[in-house]
Amino acid sequence: YSYYNENTILYVNGEYKKATAATIDLYGQSLHYGYAVFEGIRAYKTAEGKVKIFKAKEHFDRFKRSCELIHMPYPFNNDELIAACYKVLELNNMEEAYIRPLAFCPPNMTLKAASETHVLICAWEWGAYLGEKLLRVMTSSYQRPNPKAFKIESKTAGLYVNSILASQEAKENGYDEALLLDMNGNVAEGPGANLFFEKDGKIFTPPPGNILPGITRATVIELCHELGIPLEEKLFTVDELKTADCVFYCGTAAEVVGWDSLDGQGFAKPWASSLGKLLQQAYKARVLEKEFDRAAVPVA
């Protein structure tokens, strides 16, 4: 997959540049130690035909918080960064796209001069990141990082080596994606997505603490409240998850994507008549700013 070509424009430190002409200091700490912060955001063409970045403010608030959590100076103005995202889309003639802000550092970050943090914003066209099919998921042999060893609520680049290891393991074993548990053996999340399950007409999801507090997760919770679907945040094990009526992952890149099975075992309800499918359609309507008619979706 090629993320850019000779015409691609990106934003770096206040300037718009050709991606092929942009450079990075090879001695920087971000490259050597993974001391960088990123976001993943999507822009949609709404029902009215406008290009709209979904929850841009929430993503940039988290971008700032992620930097602060790892003591990386944040000399940026989020309104300016959001305007830069729209400009990058425009300069690249993109409507529906995935937007990737990255804050990164030169050598000697211990100096902590605010002017030393660099920022990059690029965008590319990206379809469903986990595909459209139902996912065959494997319980990973890797755990999510221990919150006592890391600021797990920060989208720090280095943390994602854990995600890569888990996804690679799942794919090498013939699955589509991994499921990671926390250090206590409770279900946490996917390598790049939060998890929900349905049981007896109710939706469950792990509470904050050992997960990335996803913006899509927050949207799904809002949708449950709006649609009158009972929701509970609680800790649970893989054994409990295997008794679910349906399971889904959600994230900016993945959107809402249902599961076929966990470790080869399927779920009680067909996806087509699950609350997961209902929430998938409600999510799509929300990002496209369309009306959503619950009555039009069959739920068993």
Closest contact distance (angstroms) between CB of 37 and ligand PMP is 12
- Total interface residues for ligand PMP by CB under 6 A: 12
Question: Using the rule CB under 6 A, is 192 a contact of ligand PMP?
Answer: yes
Question: Using the rule CB under 6 A, is 179 a contact of ligand PMP?
Answer: no
Query: Which span sits near ligand PMP by CB under 6 A: 21-29, 128-136, 215-223, 266-274?
Result: 215-223
Q: What's the token pair of residue 246?
A: 């349906």
CA distances from 16 to 47, 77, 211, 300 (A): 29, 17, 34, 51
- CA pair distance 273, 253, nearest whole angstrom: 24
Question: Using the rule CB under 6 A, is 8 a contact of ligand PMP?
Answer: no
- Asked whether 288 and 47 are in contact (CB, 8 A), the reply is yes
Closest contact distance (angstroms) between CB of 156 and ligand PMP is 11
- CA pair distance 230, 43, nearest whole angstrom: 29
Written as one string, the DSSP assignment of 180-246 is EE-TTS-EEE-SS-EEEEEETTEEEEPPTTSS---HHHHHHHHHHHHHT--EEE----HHHHTT-SE
Q: Which residue has the tokens 């035909």?
A: 49
Question: Using the rule CB under 6 A, is 182 a contact of ligand PMP?
Answer: no
> Which sequence positions are flagged as catalytic?
155
Q: Which of 140, 156, 167, 216 binds ligand PMP (CB under 6 A)?
A: 216
Q: Per-residue x/- marks for ligand PMP, 28-67, CB under 6 A?
A: ------------x---------------------------
Quote the DSSP letter at residue 145.
P
Question: Using the rule CB under 6 A, is 217 a contact of ligand PMP?
Answer: yes
Q: Which of 189, 198, 245, 255 binds ligand PMP (CB under 6 A)?
A: 189
Question: Using the rule CB under 6 A, is 205 a contact of ligand PMP?
Answer: no
Q: What's the token pair of residue 196?
A: 């929900």
Question: Using the rule CB under 6 A, is 193 a contact of ligand PMP?
Answer: yes
Which chain residues interact with ligand PMP by CB under 6 A? 40, 189, 192-194, 212, 214-217, 251-252
